[in-house]
Amino acid sequence: SHPRYMSLGVVDAVAETDAACESFHVPFQSGSNEVLAAMGRGHTREKYLKIIDRIRTRLPDASITADVIVGFPGETEEQFLETLSLMEEVVFDSVNTAAYSPRPNTPAALWTDQ
């Protein structure tokens, strides 16, 4: 679920439902609040970690997977290292990693610092 729309209540509902699959795919895209804002993701690193903490607390055996984009226009080495630190903190079961590429009809596709 997109972190912008995922509430802690969703995690609680899964934890309280015997028939639910204890697997969460929660893409974070970057560990840097500055890059997340530039991407227009609508969540912060802190909100993301709060969601992950709730999953780990309520469902300690749940699988957590994610997506990340590296090389977003303007991303600095320090911001990239923030992404690595988030990955080290969370310890995902799997992460899909993609290098940034311009996508049609997205604001970043029009930026000059590609």
**Element (DSSP H or E) covering residue 91:** none
Cα–Cα distance between 33 and 36 in angstroms, integer? Answer: 5
Closest-CA residue to 14 (of 48, 49, 64): 64
Q: What is the pLDDT of residue 36?
A: 96
The answer, yes or no, to whether residue 113 has pLDDT greater than 80, is no
CATH architecture observed for domain 8-102: Alpha-Beta Horseshoe (3.80)
- Is this prediction's pTM over 0.85? yes
Q: What is the pLDDT of residue 27?
A: 95
Q: Supply the DSSP symbol for 2.
A: -
Mapped onto helix, strand or coil, the DSSP state of residue 48 is: helix
52-101 tens-digit pLDDT: 999 999 999 999 999 999 999 999 999 999 999 999 999 999 999 999 99
Q: Who has greater pLDDT, 24 or 112?
A: 24
Cα torsion for 89, 94, 100, 103, to the nearest 10°?
-130
Region 13-37: what's the mean pLDDT?
Answer: 92
26-52 tens-digit pLDDT: 999 999 999 999 999 999 999 999 999
DSSP E strands: which ranges in the chain? 23-25, 63-70, 94-99
Q: Is 80 exposed, middle or buried (0-12, 13-18, 19+ CB in 10 A)?
A: middle
The answer, yes or no, to whether residue 25 has pLDDT greater than 90, is yes
The answer, yes or no, to whether residue 4 has pLDDT greater than 80, is no
Q: Where are the domains of the chain?
A: 8-102
